């Protein structure tokens, strides 16, 4: 067979190479044009923030429960009419406001660009319904409604609140930063009974809740709300511009703190809200991490009794139980390091304008055990067990019931410690059934310093009983009269006098048991920046994640 001339082969190869080069150039142009048609955000790698919060999220209606994990969820999904800055000043958020010369009429005007996550516009009717639902549930909201003559939408963007008499806490109530936060919801959701959870999560906030990916006990997922229009002011605490700088946030459930810290070290987790106190020295020396306390006011840890059933429907037995408890024992078990805790019997927080030691001396000194035993013997205690709910999955509430049970047994109480998880406790504490039928006698929790700052915001001292009181349902007309007097007080000195009277009554009737104050820093990787201080919770707008 004759061979093909070499020059023909070379010519054909040249043509093939030229055609191939032309094809590659054409393909590059096509790809470039196609890429121009793809939105920038679709081309860029999504920014995903993975965090471990202080608790698993199960209850997702932020008006139905005061649980702080649900409040934190609320800040992701919902927005507020007003907000609080780092100087505790009330600022506009969804609305600006004016006040009439006589102080009786507050007018709130919704700003432009507000949409619900389903695309519908936010209206004044929605906000009025939201305020009324919150006002039926929250202690500060209840007090505001007591002073309210009318609350209505006077046009699509205007909310008008008229008072029966001047009330100094209108703006502080609507702009309060912690539980229960008056989050705004569509009217159809806000008309849900306050005693029942809402059926879906539709807000107007900076993130959208991804209900299809919600796995209680595993993770909760939020994505950036592209329709959210932030305010123009710089972000400051819960106020200012809520500018979202990541595409997706995943709250990953990791009940074991060491597992969470291992994931943080490996880069699988970006932030841990509450690391164990005993690990802080190691974390602080890790150059890859930032360790920072988000709210210097910290928390007050407390014990709460059920007033409806024996043994704590008897004030003498409540006093005996309180006398048996020692703040230092509880704080040593909970925190361990005195750098992060403080013995404090001030109902409204130590180092605050309303702080006083009245009634707290024995509890703080921890020298009441002999009195507790004597009072228990005199009271005729019949051995009714004290059912204590003891969650084992949340660092900041697992030690208190164990320490308390030991001290109560030492005093002579029979104690039944029932192991549970925090979200089950949050649900079970709603029950007003007897302990033998799934109810309870005692549990422990923590309150932010902002929540206990005064008699109006402090929901532990709400003494309305079954008719609007907090879990445990104490009923005390004396305290309610004093709270009304505080609301009408004209000066700080008058407020201090009334607050001292309230504290004395709280200790006398053992409305609840203050067990000291503590702080805890959060920890995050240095690739994360822009985390704002806030009311004891990470705020996820303004947060950036570098590659």
Full strand arrangement of the beta sheet holding 289-292 = 207-209, 219-224, 248-252, 48-52, 271-272, 522-525, 289-292
**Domains within the chain, CATH numbers bracketed:** 51-238+245-252 (3.40.190.10), 299-518 (3.10.105.10)
Q: What is the pLDDT of residues 388-418, one digit of tens each?
A: 999 999 999 999 999 999 999 999 999 999 9
What is the distance between the alpha carbons of residues 442 and 401, in angstroms, rounded to a whole number? 9
Give the pLDDT score at 535: 82
**Among candidates 507, 510, 67, which has minimal Cα distance to 304?**
510
Give the pLDDT score at 537: 77
Give the pLDDT score at 39: 56
Give the pLDDT score at 45: 85
40-59 as b/e, with b when 16 or more CB fall inside 10 Å?
eeeeeeebebbbbbbbbbbb
What is the distance between the alpha carbons of residues 285 and 25, in angstroms, rounded to a whole number? 53
Task: Extract the tokens encoding 288.
Answer: 């890859």
Q: What is the pLDDT of residues 255-291, one digit of tens each?
A: 899 999 999 999 999 999 999 999 999 999 999 999 9
Give the pLDDT score at 547: 80
Q: Which residues of the chain have pLDDT under 70?
A: 1-44, 536
The H-or-E segment that residue 98 falls in is strand 95-99
The H-or-E segment that residue 482 falls in is helix 477-488
| Contact present, 470 and 66 (Cβ < 8 Å) | yes
pTM of the model: 0.88
What is the distance between the alpha carbons of residues 84 and 239, in angstroms, rounded to a whole number? 6
- The SS3 of residue 383 is coil
127-163 as b/e, with b when 16 or more CB fall inside 10 Å?
bbbbbbbbbebbbbbbbbbebbeebebeeebbbbbeb
Give the pLDDT score at 16: 44
Q: Is the dihedral of CA 513, 515, 516, 518 positive or negative?
A: negative
């Amino acid at each position: 067979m004759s061979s093909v001339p070499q020059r023909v082969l070379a010519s054909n190869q040249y043509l093939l190479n030229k055609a191939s080069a032309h094809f590659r150039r054409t393909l590059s142009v096509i790809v470039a044009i196609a890429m121009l048609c793809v939105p920038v955000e679709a081309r860029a790698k999504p920014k995903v923030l993975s965090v471990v919060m202080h608790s698993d999220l199960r209850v997702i209606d932020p008006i139905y429960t005061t649980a702080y994990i649900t409040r934190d969820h609320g800040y992701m999904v919902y927005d507020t009419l007003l907000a609080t800055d780092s100087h505790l000043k009330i600022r506009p958020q969804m609305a600006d406001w004016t006040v009439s010369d006589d102080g009786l009429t507050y007018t709130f005007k919704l700003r432009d660009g507000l949409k619900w996550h389903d695309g519908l516009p936010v209206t004044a009717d929605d906000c009025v319904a939201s305020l009324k639902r919150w006002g039926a549930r929250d202690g500060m909201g209840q007090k505001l409604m007591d002073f309210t003559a009318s609350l209505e939408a006077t046009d699509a963007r205007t909310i008008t609140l008229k008072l029966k008499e001047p009330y100094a806490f209108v703006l502080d109530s609507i702009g309060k930063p912690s539980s229960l936060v008056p989050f705004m919801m569509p009217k159809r959701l806000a008309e849900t009974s306050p005693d029942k959870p809402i059926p879906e999560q539709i807000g107007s906030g900076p993130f959208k809740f991804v209900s299809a990916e919600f796995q209680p006990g595993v993770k909760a997922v939020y994505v950036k709300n592209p329709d959210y229009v932030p305010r123009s002011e710089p972000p400051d605490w819960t106020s200012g511009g809520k500018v979202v700088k990541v595409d997706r946030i995943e709250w990953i459930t990791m009940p074991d703190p060491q597992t969470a810290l291992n994931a943080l070290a490996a880069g699988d987790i970006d932030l841990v809200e509450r690391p164990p106190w005993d690990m802080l020295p190691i974390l602080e020396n890790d150059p890859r991490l930032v360790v920072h306390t988000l709210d210097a006011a910290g928390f007050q840890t407390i014990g709460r009794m059920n007033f409806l059933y024996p043994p704590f429907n008897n004030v003498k037995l409540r006093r005996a139980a309180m006398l048996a408890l020692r703040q230092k024992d509880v704080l040593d078990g909970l925190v361990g390091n005195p750098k992060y805790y403080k013995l404090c019997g001030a109902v409204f927080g130590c180092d605050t304008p309303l702080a006083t030691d009245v009634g707290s001396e024995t509890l703080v000194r921890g020298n009441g055990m002999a009195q507790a035993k004597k009072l228990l013997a005199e009271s005729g205690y019949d051995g009714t067990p004290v059912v204590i709910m003891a969650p084992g999955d949340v660092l900041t509430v697992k030690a208190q019931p164990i320490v308390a049970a030991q001290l109560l047994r030492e005093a002579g109480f029979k104690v039944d410690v029932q192991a549970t998880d925090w979200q089950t406790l949050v649900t079970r504490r709603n029950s007003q059934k007897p302990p033998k039928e799934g109810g309870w006698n005692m549990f422990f929790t923590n309150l932010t310093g902002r929540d206990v700052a005064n008699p109006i915001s402090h929901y532990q001292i709400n003494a309305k009983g079954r008719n609007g009181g907090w879990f445990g349902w104490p009923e005390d007309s004396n305290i309610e009269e004093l709270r009304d007097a505080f609301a009408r007080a004209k000066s700080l000195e008058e407020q201090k006098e009334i607050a001292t009277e309230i504290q004395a009554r709280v200790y006398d009737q053992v409305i609840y048991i203050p067990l000291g104050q503590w702080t805890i820093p959060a920890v995050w990787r240095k690739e994360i920046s822009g985390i704002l201080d806030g009311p004891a919770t990470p705020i996820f707008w303004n947060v950036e994640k570098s590659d």
